[in-house]
């Protein structure tokens, strides 16, 4: 099966290991993700200013590229890209007037924009659509007792109309991790915000949130986080490190993209992971659990 | 000092602006407080989200616009998904920020203010996101 | 019967689960009463009122050929009737039963087992000595007059009358005003569906007038009620209207020609009406009446134009009030409510600021047939108010100064008012000051939410402390308890949602009926949950706001329930009346007549020939007032004779 794939900026830089492991995992399961021939940054965050159409231009262009491939579905890995593209698509589906306007603008480029005939899909949804038994068969590693806390953050489930699972208690990551032989833990803050971009100038808000999230996950037995947002990854990883430096009693746990764990479980080359990109090194833990 | 209410104050231009930019009807709010209760940034805010909505209902836009709360908001949308009346508080917060950015033409945060070391360390996703929110 | 000459009495002691047996030692009681004079059987059961318990009693009565029974259990008010039936089914006279209350009067009020056991023994002994002297009695049959009186012709009275009349029974509907319709006729549109009040009401009013089973008496009042369930006798006063309804053809020329005007009550003094008038155009009946207090002819002997122009000669200045006597079997009270007069609320400028009005006045302003033809114009100068404050809970929920209760309909009608105001004054701003919003009804919460969602009604949670006038505006000083800041609004008009209180002459009606009212003057129901439409007086039923503040849906369903209770009563030809009533020992009676004065039911009379007192068996309720008052001991009460009472005392003291 072939699917169009939109990487987004982080997947080529800070989250390169996310891309590599995700694509190799998909390939193992028979899915070939074909990167859009041309793409631009989606704008990072869906613009909440309903009156400013210019801010919808970036996602609109991405959607346009996707349509031009002729393939129905557009795969995203990054939660933020997923959120932005999916909401933008919905925005144009619901606002015929705005669609017309942006089209008039894009006419200058002699391209035709439409919100129909293309669908934005996240890696997690794609994986969970697959035949479970086939997936299980491919799992190479013996059942691991690694306890994983899924961290969804904001963008996979909010707002409601783009949620890829239940808004308050999503299970999609847990199900995938369990198929791959991991143990999952339950904790109340898996959809709590990490305070996102406030990390730039209000790091204290981020710190407060992350302390709350991590402490709860650890108290519930978590040994590692799985997620799919590069910004959450940075926040959790770097702020935990900082918290640990300030407070000896704070136990940081590694933060990985979910595809990294799946790739390991499928027995793929650990080099794909480039563990050096993580501040909290997961390797000792993986060795201990027999995953490396 | 009591808040002096009047038709002119309540029906102000900002009211229409917020409705348009935020694409939400904040008159729906019945002050249950659910938005504030779940807001991860509430502790840092000078005006809690439900109170911000209330101020808007009463036409007290200048206080909203002067508030720190609108900048502390992380746009996580927790409030909006939980609001029983379907108020998009996150959109409302964005609208308040936009009004300031557009009318004052001064950014809330400028890249030059940031520490060079930090700038290097931060991933672009964080920076762009932040500038999208805090600059005009 | 084998032992017809002697008594064969059985005692049945109930454990009432553990309610009795945990405090009263049943075995000791049984032992103490074994061999007590007259007692042939003594036994016990965990629940005598249960089916197995009653089976046991029936079997024992038959096996042991008992002829009287004492059941030691709970209060007779709970199960006396049940056990009387048990006796009857077992073939003995139900009045040969005596209940010894060893629960409410013994086990529940004592903790010392020994004391309680002894007391139970005494109570049972007393009951035994009374039971041995109980006479077999037969209930008195009383015929039922299958005709109902409905007092009050608002929507409650209209609904009840139509329901009873449609079931085939006659109804007399008495309304004090010249037209039926009540407050509902004054309303503009009704929450939560905003249908026009008149439109849904008037066809029912017409149906009442045309119904062959309904005798509609307007401008009338009930002045006297005597009798009892199934057999009331009522006197109705037909007030002077100076118009002969038989002759009047309703042409209305008199109204046109009448030269004098006065405030319209129907329009809450927001418009004028003639002195000969119909309260409103759709009035039922459609016959004008003369307001005697303002009529030039009646006051000064001048004018008389109406009489001169009336074709059929229906004007009768000489008319006298008339009194009509009627027999009815049941009464429905539907006297409705009034709103607390705003003149009594100085803190809100009531009576001194003309643009401070109450909800009913605002209904008239909203009404298409109202004084402004449905345009929103304020009373003082007819200007369109651009800002209006609505204040809820005015005098309601204020036990310190006014009324403790919630008037129930104000939250909803204020939402309605603010909405309708905004629909008509598009650039206006309504403010609603409230304490809580109580919107518990089908579609009500949604209705209230619509007000803020679609019409941008600004709800401010906080009670207004006062109002005053300044520069042609009314300043409303309030607070926003949610924001915790004070607010002040300068508005053009204020609408007060004043408390609903019962019609002011209900206390008179209640006295006539011997029906009880609560501390606020609302009629009290026999049981708030299980008998919600029955009054404390048998045969008197309650409907609408006479009972409590309520909206139209609740009023109508309550009225239909009351009508059903009336039909229930009328379904049988006769009623059974308790036979435990007073009697007269004619040999002893001196004819002094003291009993006549003390009887609250007018059951006592003097037989002038024999010079002895008599008892009307049907009227006597068996209260015992006469037996206690009679100086010669001639007044006796069946199965409560002096002999029985003294033997009970002896049994206890022995
Ligand atoms: C401002 C306002 C707005 C409202 N709006 C709505 C609405 O939108 N929707 C809704 O559902 N409800 C509404 N209500 C409530 C509604 O008015 C009542 O539920 C309804 O009118 C009660 O009917 P009733 O027959 O019990 O009383 P009433 O309408 O008061 O009728 C009682 C009748 O009895 C007569 N009477 C009184 N005493 C005597 C006597 N001694 N002898 C003979 N006759 C007597 C009176 O003259 C009157 O005709 C509103 C109430 C107010 C105050
Ligand atoms: S959750 Fe919604 S209704 Fe509740 S206070 Fe916040 S905005 Fe208002
Ligand atoms: S979007 Fe803003 S206001 Fe709403 S919960 Fe998140 S941080 Fe708070």
B3 with C453: Cβ contact below 8 A = no
Share of chain C above pLDDT 70, in %: 99
Mutate to test the interface with B, among C386, C422, C433, C453 (most CBs of B within 10 A): C453
N- to C-terminal Cα distance for chain A? 30
User: What subunits touch chain A, counting only 3 or more CB pairs under 8 A?
Assistant: B
Check: CB of residue C541 under 8 Å from CB of residue C331.
yes
* Secondary structure of residue C389 in the 3-state scheme: strand
Average pLDDT, chain C: 95
Q: For residue B31, is it within any domain?
A: yes
Nearest Cβ partner for A159 among B22, B77, B123: B77
Neighbours of C239 (CB within 10 A): 15
Task: Give the pLDDT confidence score for residue C242 in this predicted structure.
Answer: 97
B54 with C487: Cβ contact below 8 A = no
Q: How far is the CA of C182 from the centre of ligand 1 (A)?
A: 5
Q: How far is the CA of C64 from the centre of ligand 2 (A)?
A: 75
Check: CB of residue A128 under 8 Å from CB of residue A172.
yes
| Rounded to 5°, angle at Cα C271 from C356 and C190 | 70
Read off the pLDDT band of A141 (50, 70, 90): low
* Least reliable range by pLDDT among A12-26, C2-16, C87-101, C141-155: C2-16
Mean local confidence (pLDDT), A97-113: 84
Task: Give the pLDDT confidence score for residue B42 in this predicted structure.
Answer: 94
Tell me, what DSSP letter sits at residue B134?
A: H
Residue whose C-alpha is closest to residue C128's, from C76, C68, C74: C68
Task: Give the pLDDT confidence score for residue C621 in this predicted structure.
Answer: 85
Residues in contact with C339: Cβ distance below 8 Å, sequence separation at least 6, in sequence order: C358, C359, C360, C498, C499, C500, C501
Read off the pLDDT band of B106 (50, 70, 90): confident
Whether C429 has its CB under 8 Å from any CB of chain B: the answer is yes
Residue whose C-alpha is closest to residue C496's, from C371, C383, C341: C341
Own/partner pairs, A244-251, CB within 8 angstroms, 24+ separation: A250/A211, A250/A214, A250/A215, A251/A218
Cα–Cα distance, A221 to A214 (Å, whole number): 11
Read off the pLDDT band of A133 (50, 70, 90): confident
Q: For residue B1, is it within any domain?
A: no
Cα–Cα distance, C271 to C273 (Å, whole number): 7
Read off the pLDDT band of C163 (50, 70, 90): very high
Tell whether ligand 1 has an atom less than 6 A from the beta carbon of residue C162: no
* Secondary structure of residue C436 in the 3-state scheme: coil
Q: How far is CA C256 from CA A5, A118, C178, in A?
A: 86, 76, 18
Read off the pLDDT band of B97 (50, 70, 90): very high
Residue B14: which CATH number? 1.10.1060.10
Q: Relative to the CA of B26, which ligand 2 atom is closest? A: 7
Read off the pLDDT band of C23 (50, 70, 90): very high
Tell me, what DSSP letter sits at residue A255?
A: E
Report the residue of chain B nearest A158, measured CA to CA: B77
Read off the pLDDT band of A292 (50, 70, 90): confident
Q: For residue B38, is it within any domain?
A: yes
Residue C410 phi/psi, 5-degree rounding, is -70, -40
In the sheet that holds C322-328, the strands lie side by side as C220-228, C231-238, C322-328
Mutate to test the interface with B, among C384, C411, C482 (most CBs of B within 10 A): C482
Neighbours of C424 (CB within 10 A): 14
Whether C488 has its CB under 8 Å from any CB of chain B: the answer is yes
Q: For residue B131, is it within any domain?
A: no
In this predicted structure, the answer to whether residue C86 has a pLDDT above a threshold of 80 is yes
Task: Give the pLDDT confidence score for residue C5 in this predicted structure.
Answer: 45
Residue whose C-alpha is closest to residue C275's, from C260, C297, C257, C254: C260
Tell me, what DSSP letter sits at residue A135?
A: H
In terms of pLDDT, which residue wins out, C618 or C253?
C253
Read off the pLDDT band of A147 (50, 70, 90): very high
Helix-, strand-, coil-residue percentages of chain A, each rounded to 5: 50, 10, 40
Cα–Cα distance, C147 to C330 (Å, whole number): 7
Q: How far is CA A219 from CA A66, A182, A191, A286, in A?
A: 43, 18, 17, 20
Task: Give the pLDDT confidence score for residue A44 in this predicted structure.
Answer: 87
* Secondary structure of residue C173 in the 3-state scheme: strand
Q: Provide the chain B residues 9-38 that lie in CB contact (below 8 A) with chain C.
A: 10-11, 25, 27-28, 30-31
Whether C357 has its CB under 8 Å from any CB of chain B: the answer is no
In this predicted structure, the answer to whether residue A140 has a pLDDT above a threshold of 90 is no
Whether B114 has its CB under 8 Å from any CB of chain A: the answer is yes
Read off the pLDDT band of A142 (50, 70, 90): low
B2 with C428: Cβ contact below 8 A = no
- CA-atom Rg of chain B in angstroms: 16
Mean local confidence (pLDDT), C7-29: 96
In this predicted structure, the answer to whether residue C4 has a pLDDT above a threshold of 70 is no
Mean local confidence (pLDDT), B98-115: 87
Query: What is the per-residue pLDDT across A211-231, written as a single tens digit (0 to 9) for each?
Result: 999 999 999 999 999 999 999
Cα–Cα distance, C380 to C474 (Å, whole number): 12
Task: Give the pLDDT confidence score for residue C1 in this predicted structure.
Answer: 35
Check: CB of residue C199 under 8 Å from CB of residue C158.
no
Task: Give the pLDDT confidence score for residue C95 in this predicted structure.
Answer: 96
- CA-atom Rg of chain A in angstroms: 19
Q: For residue B122, is it within any domain?
A: no
Query: What is the per-residue pLDDT across C500-554, written as a single tens digit (0 to 9) for each?
Result: 999 988 889 999 888 889 999 999 999 999 999 999 888 999 999 999 999 999 9
Task: Give the pLDDT confidence score for residue C629 in this predicted structure.
Answer: 94
Task: Give the pLDDT confidence score for residue C6 in this predicted structure.
Answer: 60
Neighbours of A12 (CB within 10 A): 11
Cα–Cα distance, C503 to B96 (Å, whole number): 53
Token pair of C82, please?
């049940």
Whether C444 has its CB under 8 Å from any CB of chain B: the answer is no
Q: Which helix H or strand E contains C385, and what residues bound it?
A: none
Residues in contact with C207: Cβ distance below 8 Å, sequence separation at least 6, in sequence order: C162
pTM: 0.84
In this predicted structure, the answer to whether residue C3 has a pLDDT above a threshold of 60 is no
Tell whether ligand 1 has an atom less than 6 A from the beta carbon of residue C176: yes
Token pair of C584, please?
């007269």
Cα–Cα distance, A289 to C623 (Å, whole number): 91
Helix-, strand-, coil-residue percentages of chain C, each rounded to 5: 30, 25, 45
* Domain range enclosing B90: 10-106
Tell me, what DSSP letter sits at residue C448?
A: H
Omega before C284 within 30 of 0, i.e. cis: no
A50 with B129: Cβ contact below 8 A = no
**How many domains does the structure of chain B reveal?**
1
Residue whose C-alpha is closest to residue C150's, from C560, C517, C576: C560
Q: Per-residue DSSP letters for A172-234? A: HHHHHHHHTT-EE---TTTTS---GGGGTT-HHHHHHHHHHHHHHHHHTT--EEEE--HHHHH
C487 with B5: Cβ contact below 8 A = yes
Tell whether ligand 1 has an atom less than 6 A from the beta carbon of residue C364: no
| Distance from the Cα of residue A106 to its chain's centroid | 30
Q: Exposed (0-12), middle (13-18) or buried (19+): which is C247, by Cβ within 10 Å?
A: middle
Residues in contact with C408: Cβ distance below 8 Å, sequence separation at least 6, in sequence order: C438, C500, C548, C549, C550, C551
Question: What does chain C come to in residues?
Answer: 654
Residues in contact with A289: Cβ distance below 8 Å, sequence separation at least 6, in sequence order: A144, A145, A146
Mean local confidence (pLDDT), C223-230: 91
Read off the pLDDT band of C619 (50, 70, 90): confident
Mean local confidence (pLDDT), C173-196: 97
Q: For residue B33, is it within any domain?
A: yes
* The pairing of beta strand C322-328 with beta strand C500-502: unpaired
Residue whose C-alpha is closest to residue A212's, from A230, A242, A231, A190: A190
Mutate to test the interface with A, among B123, B124, B131 (most CBs of A within 10 A): B123
* Complex ipTM tops 0.85: yes
Biggest alpha carbon–alpha carbon distance for chain A: 61
Nearest-CA residue for atom 8 of ligand 3: B39
Tell me, what DSSP letter sits at residue A98?
A: H
In this predicted structure, the answer to whether residue B94 has a pLDDT above a threshold of 80 is yes
Q: For residue B90, is it within any domain?
A: yes
Q: Exposed (0-12), middle (13-18) or buried (19+): which is A193, by Cβ within 10 Å?
A: buried
Give the relative orientation of helices A203-219 and A230-246 as an angle to the nearest 10 degrees: 90
A45 with B132: Cβ contact below 8 A = yes
In this predicted structure, the answer to whether residue C2 has a pLDDT above a threshold of 60 is no
Residue C324 phi/psi, 5-degree rounding, is -115, 135
Contact flag for B and A (3+ C-beta pairs < 8 Å) = yes
Cα–Cα distance, B77 to B75 (Å, whole number): 5
All structural domains of chain C: 9-137 (3.40.50), 147-236+323-336+505-570 (3.50.50.60), 253-309 (no CATH), 338-501 (3.50.50.60), 578-638 (3.30.70.20)
- The Cβ-side half-sphere exposure at A48, using a 13 Å CA radius, reads 26
Report the residue of chain B nearest C449, measured CA to CA: B28
Query: What is the per-residue pLDDT across C306-362, written as a single tens digit (0 to 9) for each?
Result: 999 999 999 999 999 999 999 999 999 999 999 999 999 999 998 899 999 999 999
Token pair of C157, please?
């009275």
Nearest Cβ partner for C453 among B10, B25, B57: B25
Task: Give the pLDDT confidence score for residue C458 in this predicted structure.
Answer: 96
Query: What is the per-residue pLDDT across A154-175, written as a single tens digit (0 to 9) for each?
Result: 999 999 999 999 999 999 999 9
Contacts of C457 in chain B (CB under 8 A): 27
């Amino acid at each position: 099966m072939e699917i169009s794939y939109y990487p987004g900026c982080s997947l080529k830089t800070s989250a390169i290991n996310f891309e590599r492991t995700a694509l190799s995992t998909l390939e193992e399961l028979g899915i070939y993700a074909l990167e859009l021939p041309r793409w631009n940054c989606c704008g990072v965050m869906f613009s909440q200013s309903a009156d400013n159409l210019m801010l919808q231009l970036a996602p609109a262009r991405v959607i346009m590229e996707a349509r031009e491939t002729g393939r129905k579905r557009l795969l995203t890995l990054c939660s933020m890209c997923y959120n932005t593209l999916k909401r933008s698509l919905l925005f144009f589906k619901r606002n015929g007037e705005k669609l017309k306007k942006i089209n008039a603008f894009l006419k200058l480029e002699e391209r035709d924009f439409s919100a129909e005939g293309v669908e934005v899909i996240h890696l997690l949804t794609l994986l969970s659509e697959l035949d479970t038994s086939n997936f299980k068969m491919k799992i190479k590693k013996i059942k691991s007792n690694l306890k994983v806390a899924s961290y969804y953050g904001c963008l996979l489930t909010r707002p409601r109309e783009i949620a890829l699972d239940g808004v308050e208690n999503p299970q999609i990551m847990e199900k995938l991790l369990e198929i791959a032989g991991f143990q999952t833990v339950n904790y109340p803050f898996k959809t709590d915000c990490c305070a996102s971009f406030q990390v730039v100038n209000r790091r204290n808000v981020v710190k407060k949130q992350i302390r709350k999230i991590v402490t709860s996950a650890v108290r519930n037995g978590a040994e590692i986080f799985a997620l799919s947002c590069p910004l959450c990854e940075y926040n959790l990883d770097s702020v935990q490190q900082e918290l640990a430096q300030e407070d000896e009693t704070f136990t940081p746990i590694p933060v990985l993209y979910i595809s990294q764990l799946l790739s390991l479980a499928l027995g793929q080359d650990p080099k794909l992971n480039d563990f050096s990109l993580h501040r909290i090194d997961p390797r000792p833990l993986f060795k201990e659990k027999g995953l490396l | 000092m009591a808040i002096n209410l009047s038709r002119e104050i309540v029906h102000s231009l900002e009211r229409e602006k917020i409705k348009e930019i935020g694409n939400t009807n904040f008159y729906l709010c019945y002050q249950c407080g659910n938005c504030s209760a779940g807001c991860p940034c509430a502790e840092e805010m000078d005006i809690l989200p439900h109170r911000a909505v209330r101020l808007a209902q009463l036409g007290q836009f200048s206080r909203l616009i002067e508030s720190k709360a609108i900048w502390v908001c992380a746009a996580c949308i927790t409030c909006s998904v939980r609001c029983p009346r379907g108020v998009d508080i996150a959109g409302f917060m964005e609208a308040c920020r936009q009004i300031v950015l557009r009318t004052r033409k001064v950014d809330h945060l400028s890249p030059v203010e940031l520490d060079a070391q930090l700038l290097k360390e931060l991933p672009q996703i964080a920076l762009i996101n932040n500038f999208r929110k805090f600059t005009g | 019967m084998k032992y017809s000459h002697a008594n064969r009495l059985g005692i049945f002691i109930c454990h009432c689960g553990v309610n009795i047996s945990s405090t009263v030692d049943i075995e000791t009681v049984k032992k103490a009463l074994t061999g007590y004079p007259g007692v042939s059987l003594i036994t016990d059961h965990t629940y005598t009122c249960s089916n197995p318990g009653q089976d046991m009693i029936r079997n024992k009565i038959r096996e042991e050929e008992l002829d009287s029974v004492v059941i030691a259990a709970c209060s007779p008010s709970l199960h006396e009737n049940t056990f009387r039936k048990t006796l009857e089914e077992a073939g003995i006279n139900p009045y040969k039963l005596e209940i010894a209350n060893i629960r409410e009067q013994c086990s529940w009020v004592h903790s010392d087992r020994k004391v309680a056991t002894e007391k139970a023994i005494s109570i049972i002994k007393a009951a035994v000595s009374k039971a041995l002297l109980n006479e077999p009695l037969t209930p008195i049959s009383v015929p039922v007059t299958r005709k109902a009186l409905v007092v009050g012709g608002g929507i409650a009275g209209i609904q009840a009358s139509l329901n009873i009349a449609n079931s085939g029974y006659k109804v007399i509907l008495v309304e004090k005003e010249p037209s039926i319709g009540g407050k509902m006729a004054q309303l503009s549109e009704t929450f939560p569906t905003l249908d026009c009040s008149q439109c849904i009401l008037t066809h029912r009013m017409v149906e009442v007038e045309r119904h062959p089973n309904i005798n509609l008496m307007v401008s009338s009042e009930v002045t006297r009620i005597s009798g009892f369930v199934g057999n009331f006798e009522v006197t109705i006063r037909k007030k002077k209207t100076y118009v002969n309804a038989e002759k009047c053809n309703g042409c209305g020329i008199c109204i046109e020609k009448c030269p004098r005007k006065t405030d319209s009550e129907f329009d809450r003094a927001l418009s004028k009406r003639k002195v000969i008038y119909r309260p409103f155009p759709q009035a039922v009946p459609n016959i004008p009446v003369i307001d005697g207090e303002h009529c030039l002819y009646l006051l000064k002997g001048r004018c008389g134009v109406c009489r001169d122009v009336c074709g059929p000669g229906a004007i009768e200045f000489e008319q006298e009030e008339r009194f009509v006597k009627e027999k009815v079997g049941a009464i429905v009270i539907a006297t409705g409510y009034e709103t607390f007069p705003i003149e009594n609320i100085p803190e809100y400028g009531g009576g001194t600021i003309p643009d401070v009005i109450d909800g009913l006045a605002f209904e008239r302003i909203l009404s298409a047939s109202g004084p402004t033809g449905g345009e929103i114009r304020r009373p003082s100068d007819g200007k369109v108010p651009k800002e209006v404050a609505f204040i809820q809970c005015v005098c309601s929920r204020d036990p310190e100064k006014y009324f403790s209760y919630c008037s129930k309909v104000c939250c909803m009608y204020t939402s309605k008012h603010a909405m309708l105001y905004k629909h008509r004054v598009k650039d206006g701003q309504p403010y609603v000051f409230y304490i809580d919003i109580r919107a518990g009804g089908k579609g009500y919460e949604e209705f209230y939410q619509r007000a803020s969602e679609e019409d941008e009604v600004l709800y401010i949670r906080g009670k207004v402390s006062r109002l005053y006038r300044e520069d042609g505006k009314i300043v409303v000083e309030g607070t926003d308890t949610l924001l915790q800041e004070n607010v002040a609004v300068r508005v053009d008009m204020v609408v007060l949602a004043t408390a609903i209180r019962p019609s002011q002459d209900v206390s008179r009606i209640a006295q006539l009926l011997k029906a009880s009212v609560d501390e606020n003057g609302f009629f009290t129901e026999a049981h708030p949950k299980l008998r919600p439409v029955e009054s404390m007086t048998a045969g008197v039923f309650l409907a609408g706001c006479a009972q409590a503040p309520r909206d139209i849906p609740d009023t109508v369903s309550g009225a239909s329930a009351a009508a059903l209770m009336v039909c229930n009563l009328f379904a049988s030809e006769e009623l059974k009346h308790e036979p435990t009533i007073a009697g007269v020992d004619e040999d002893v009676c001196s004819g002094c007549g003291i009993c006549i004065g003390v009887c609250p039911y007018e059951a006592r009379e003097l037989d002038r020939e024999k010079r002895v007192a008599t008892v009307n068996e049907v009227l006597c309720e068996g209260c015992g007032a006469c037996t206690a008052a009679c100086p010669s001991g001639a007044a006796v009460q069946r199965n409560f004779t002096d002999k029985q009472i003294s033997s009970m005392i002896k049994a206890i003291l022995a």
